[in-house]
Chains A and B, each alone.
Chain A
């Protein structure tokens, strides 16, 4: 040390000028409080809001301490769907707010795109830049050159802004990577989308049928609760799944069919209902059209025909059809959620809808109940400019695709090819475009072609590295969002998301970001409300309440009476014919099969497995893997592989391997879960792992990514949805492929475990296709 401690600070002299400057310097981080004044938040408060750890949006109560720290989250017992229950993700939500890796300030790129080098900037600087670039692009290329990729209700304000700006290119993965083909299939048949939550009357059902739906792993708390109650009540359950899922473990019948053959099974079920005269004749006669054509269409599609395709016993197919028929109309055939499997998925949706109709279950007690629109008026806003034609193919290339939700992959393709016109900017809002849309390599190439890439998010997800501008959104616990109206509930309701804690750092709510941008884009009139409270008050006025009145409870119900058809009055479906369309003239007009036709998926190449993927009760999509609690419970995914195959290949449970797909794409390490609970021709992993953003410290590089093994996908020509179960993988161990020497056959009997109501102790190993004599389970 150059100065003695005793002399330290004793000889400080400064020039007068320096002294003036330094003494005049201010710090602004703190302020004094009067000794008898502010004492902070002195008590723990409980604030009602809605969750966003998945899209189910359960009711929550946030417990906040005197410092304003959110200590824990409980379920809101007032919530009509969840009744106070909350899943692991909902309970872990506070860790999102306090995740050290979250985005904290607006950031401007200073390095090359993908280099991840940024500079913190003020909101004014960020939004001025953003608006200037958007206006330049609109001036030069038209508003349609801006693509918007939103996700969730928080993005609605920005979506409103984008419509006012004039772009038609608004695309959400909720359609083309999820429910799109399902909704198209049901809409073509009944005139209505299924919507979300699925309006299944499990409260009164006597039979539940799941086609690939894996409730229990795919946790929607309200639906889980209804499912569990239905089982307890004695409702029967049929599960169709190549995997012995949690739901399959509770089933009366497990049908581990060959992946991709679901439509064959559905057509055979339809055949049995019709040709054994088991369908709801009165319902079909009164409300459906095209029955005779359907009857002719399925004449040869017998259980025996389907058995060869599905590798299920014909007797089992017949028996399960009869079981369903015995419970008419109280059959809850779950329409499914993630529906984009093989590229012919709208027709599978049609087959499911037709089966539902034959069971007389649509609009009936115990089947699918009817939604009740909620009178929550939109805040007045000027008319939007007439947009140019879409670039994503929704309504044109894919004639039945939703124009509201669009086709994400169509917009990626348009950006990549520059056709039908160049796309110059992407605004990615709470979406992870590199983990939700297949062929992420193409997505990256498309991003490289952009003039502007803006990311609005809470966490630094993959695409953040490619952004020119990053805007930190407040978490769902720190903001108001638009009113959440739930028409698909037997007692519909509207719930509010309100701040449980103040936004941390410089994160801002979506409504604020959109409105500030509107000021800069000359669109203030589109956001004419005084403040967000006034906006919500206006929307709630249709329900006869104010925001203040419902803040403590967090929601308001809207009882519109029975959610079933009143058959004493004429019933008109919203289809062209006004009836349930078993035969679709609309499809025929566009050159598609008017009734579902089974299309065989590509066979699994020798030495490979079909890559199946699904969900975990501990994670949502690719969004929660960095959460401290959830990562602690499930830091990585594993790979289900059939035990006999594993034995033949010399693979051991718990060891790590890699996967290589048909195009040579190799996964990160993944741990083997050797189990008899999956067919030999497929492997399964939970979606959303192996994050590529190193800024997600807990999630980075953990597990394997299914998306990064999806170099191929098959687009459903009706809806534009991306069939993603068309990729095949082989096992790589110690750098070498592990080859299968011979085929291992598939199917065996399943012994139900549900009567015992206890965990499964023994799973009967799938084995060879059963002959007719072996039927029955």
Chain B
């Protein structure tokens, strides 16, 4: 089988992009890529271990991409949009830090986006501090190859401080293994990425 070896920057970009897509509301394309094993293959490469395996095993157990999509949409709605009796895990940073939508954190992020010449698309219906948008921003920074110096500080303050709370809520409320595995994988990836950047910066 023909293979492609990714450069470090390519891998990082791809990772943030894929994680971003996976935390947006699932659509047909993502279901197809998941069901076809493409994303699972990549996750197992980049983050080998039981979480990637668990995620891929569950995806493979679905009867079709359409079946997978339906299950993911219902689960996403239940975990992140609305659920009875309680909405478990909204994907907005200011929900955890301020108990409000579009809080100060969201607006600070807008300033940061603008500082790096990005803005949330007018067509986007999510908040600026939605996890998927934050991840997309990092991807776009990396794509511009302008993000390395910013990434560490930004990622620590703007991303990781609320992910443990989010992860806990996802774990406690998920009815499928997909999102618990995904949030674990994301956290692991960020930990590794930050560690790598720190190591490189120190010249080790």
- Residue B165 at the A interface, CB < 8 A? no
Within 8 Å of chain A (Cβ to Cβ): is B66? no
Instruction: Identify which of B56-64, B95-103, B153-161, B177-185 touches chain A.
Output: B95-103
**Assembly CA distance A2 to B185 (angstroms):** 13
In the complex, which residues of chain B have a beta carbon less than 8 angstroms from the beta carbon of A6? 196, 199
Contact check: which of A2, A30, A105, A694 meets B85 at CB < 8 Å? A694
Given A5-B195, A33-B114: A27 and B4 within 8 A (CB)?
Answer: no
A30–B137 contact, CB under 8 A?
yes
Taking a contact as CB atoms under 8 Å apart, the answer to whether A100 and B90 are in contact is yes
Which parts of A1-39 form the interface with B (CB within 8 Å)?
1-3, 5-6, 8-19, 21-23, 25, 27-35, 38-39
Task: Give B140 Cβ to nearest chain A Cβ, in Å.
Answer: 6
Q: B119 touching A28 by the CB < 8 A rule?
A: no
A345 CB within 8 Å of chain B: no
- A739: B residues at CB distance < 8 A: none
User: B41 touching A505 by the CB < 8 A rule?
Assistant: no
Q: Which residues of B contact A235 (CB under 8 A)?
A: none
Cα distance A119–B79 in the bound complex, in angstroms = 11
Q: State in angstroms the CA–CA spacing of A276 and B16 once bound together.
A: 88
Asked if B17 is at the interface (CB within 8 A of a chain A CB), the reply is yes
Contact of B4 among A13, A98, A115 (CB under 8 A): A13
Q: Which of chain B's residues have a CB closer than 8 A to the CB of A280?
A: none
Does A40 touch B at the CB level, under 8 Å?
A: yes
Given that A6-B199, A694-B85 are contacting pairs, would A13 and B3 also be in contact in the complex, using a CB cutoff of 8 Å?
yes
B126 to chain A, nearest CB (A): 7
Question: Does A118 sit at the interface, judged by CB under 8 A?
Answer: yes
Known: A8-B192, A13-B5, A694-B85. A25 touches B117 (CB 8 A): no
Known A5-B196, A30-B113: A69·B77 in contact at CB below 8 Å: no
Q: CB within 8 A of B77: which of A16, A21, A38, A118?
A: A118
User: A22 touching B3 by the CB < 8 A rule?
Assistant: no
Would A69 and B102 be within 8 Å (CB), given that A5-B199, A9-B11, A25-B33 are in contact?
Answer: yes
The DSSP consensus for interface residues of chain B is helix
Q: Which interface class (under 10, 10 to 19, 20 to 34, 35 or more) fits A?
A: 35 or more
Which listed residue (A14, A39, A102) contacts B3, Cβ 8 A? A14
Residues of B within 8 A of A31 (CB): 118-119, 121
B173 at the interface (CB under 8 A from A): no
Q: Are A25 and B192 in contact (CB-based, < 8 A)?
A: no
Instruction: Please determine whether A100 and B78 come into contact, CB atoms closer than 8 angstroms.
Output: no
Contact partners of A40 in chain B: CB under 8 A? 110, 114, 119
Write the nearest CB–CB distance from A474 to chain B, whole angstroms.
12
Closest-CB distance, B70 to chain A (whole angstroms): 8
Q: Give the shortest distance, in Å, between B196 (CB) and chain A (any CB).
A: 5
Give the size of the chain B interface in residues (CB under 8 angstroms): 79
B residues less than 8 Å from A2 (CB atoms): 48-49
Note all chain A residues with C-beta closer than 8 A to B117. Answer: 32-35
Question: Is the beta-carbon distance between A15 and B4 smaller than 8 angstroms?
Answer: yes
- Compute how far the CA of A39 lies from the CA of B199 in the bound complex, rounded to whole angstroms: 36
A116-B77 Cα distance, complex, nearest whole Å: 11
Do A120 and B48 have beta carbons less than 8 Å apart? no
The one of B38, B87, B119 in contact with A695, judged by C-beta atoms closer than 8 angstroms, is: B87
For the complex, what is the distance from the CA of A65 to the CA of B104, rounded to whole Å?
12
Q: How far is the CA of A32 from the CA of B101 in the complex (A)?
A: 24
| Distance A28 CA – B133 CA, assembled complex (angstroms) | 9
Which residue from A15, A23, A69 sits with its C-beta under 8 Å from B14? A23
Q: Are A18 and B48 in contact (CB under 8 A)?
A: no
Known: A1-B188, A5-B196, A32-B140. 5 other contacts (CB 8 A): A12-B10, A15-B1, A17-B38, A30-B113, A117-B83
- Of the A-B pairs whose beta carbons lie under 8 Å apart in the complex, a sample of 24, sorted by A's number, is A3-B192, A8-B196, A12-B10, A13-B3, A13-B4, A15-B2, A19-B6, A21-B36, A27-B136, A29-B124, A29-B130, A30-B136, A30-B140, A32-B118, A33-B119, A34-B117, A35-B117, A67-B111, A100-B90, A100-B101, A117-B74, A120-B25, A505-B126, A697-B86
Give 5 closest A-B pairs by Cβ, nearest first. Answer: A116-B84, A694-B85, A19-B4, A16-B2, A98-B101
Q: Show the binding face of A for B, using Cβ within 8 Å.
A: 1-3, 5-6, 8-19, 21-23, 25, 27-35, 38-40, 65, 67, 69, 95, 97-105, 107, 110, 115-120, 460, 465, 504-506, 628, 694-695, 697
